[in-house]
Structure formats: structure tokens, C-alpha cells
Amino acid sequence: MSSTNQADLLPALHRLQEKFGYIPDHAIADLAKAHNMAQAEVVGVIGFYHDFRRTPPGRQRLRICRAESCQAMGADALAMHACTQLGVEFGATTADGEVTLEAAYCLGNCACSPAVMLDDDLHGRVSVERLDAILAEGRGV
């Protein structure tokens, strides 16, 4: 964080989140100082973007696309199955801290709908069975 320019804030937030998985509270003051901003402004920027989190996520991040193309190919059933299987609502992390379930609004895989993304791995034409397999593989089962 050697920069003093607000324009470097988003890249800095991405780097922090890549390192810690979230933006820790204790980083806010440093970020504000480094980018010549008020702490409230930094918090405001973090809060605006869906990607940035202020609490630790699960070990893995499962994103299920809930946008139109995937809906047309059964994404709602897939989403319900994921909630039941993982025992969490969207936005929450499983009790064992393994998986954070998130909604995505288009993963750009619309020609292979429905799509999900586990961390950075994109999966297409995902049936309920495939989702189970993807999750099992992700847990190292």
C-alpha cells in the first residue's frame, strides 16, 4: 500500500481480499491513510461492491447463477437443492465453515446453462447430481 491515490483503492482491496479472504477491520485505517481518504469513504467503497466482504468467508465460495438464461434451464431448482444440501441460505456459510453460498447474476456461461462457479472454477450444464459431485470434489471427498 505505497500508493497515495484513490484510484488504486480497488486494486488494493482485491489484493487484500485475495490474501485474507476478506477485508479485515484493522486494514481500514491503513487503507484510508494510504489512499488519502476518510475511513468512512473506504468503508463506503467496500460496501458498494458485492465482491468485497468484511467477514471471513467459508473455505470455498460456491456461486450459483440466478440470472435469466440459467433460470430458463432450471437454475431455481439447482439453487433450492444447494440451500437444502448445504443447509444455508444464499449469502451464508455452512456451519462447518466449508462453503459460502452466493448468488451470481451471470457468469458468462449462458450457452451452457445452468452455470455455477466454485472459487474460480466455472461449471456448465450443471444438474443436481453434478452439483453434488462438484461439491464433493471440492470438499476432497
Partner 1 sequence: MTQRIFVPRDASAVSVGAERVCRTIENEARNRGLEVEIVRNGSRGLYWLEPLIEVEIDGQRIAYGPVAPEDVPGLFEAGWLQGGAHALCHGPSEEIPYLKRQTRLTFARMGVTDPLSLEDYRAHGGLKGLERALDMKAEDIVDAVDTGGLRGRGGAGFPTGIKWRTVMNAGGGQKYIVCNADEGDSGTFSDRMLMEGDPFCLIEGMIIAGLAVGADTGYIYLRSEYPDAWDVLEDAIVTATREGILGANVLGSGRRFELNLFKGAGAYVCGEETSLLESIEGKRGLVRAKPPLPALQGLFGQPTVVNNVITLASVPWILAHGGEAYKAHGSGRSRGTLPFQLAGNLKRPGLVEVAFGMTLRELLYDFGGGSASGRPIRAVQVGGPLGAYLPESRFDLPLDYEAFAAVGATVGHGGIVAFDDSVDMAKMARYAMEFCAIESCGKCTPCRIGSVRGVELLDSMLAARPQRSNDDTLLRDLCQTMLEGSLCAMGGMTPYPVLSALDHYPEDFGLSPKQEEASA
CA 27 to chain centre: 20
Contact positions with partner 1 (CB under 8 A) in 13-32: 13-14
Contact positions with partner 1 (CB under 8 A) in 72-111: 72-73, 104-111
Stretch that binds partner 1, among 20-28, 54-62, 65-73, 84-92 (CB under 8 A): 65-73
Q: Which residues have a Cβ under 8 Å from the Cβ of 3 and sit 6 or more positions away?
A: 12, 34, 35
Residue 5: phi and psi, rounded to 5, are: -110, 135
Compute the least distance from the CB of residue 8 to partner 1, in Å: 7
Spatial distance between the Cα atoms of 60 and 3, rounded to a whole number of angstroms: 31
Q: Which residues bind partner 1 (CB under 8 A)?
A: 5-11, 13-14, 35, 44-45, 47-52, 65, 67-73, 104-113, 115, 117, 120, 122-125
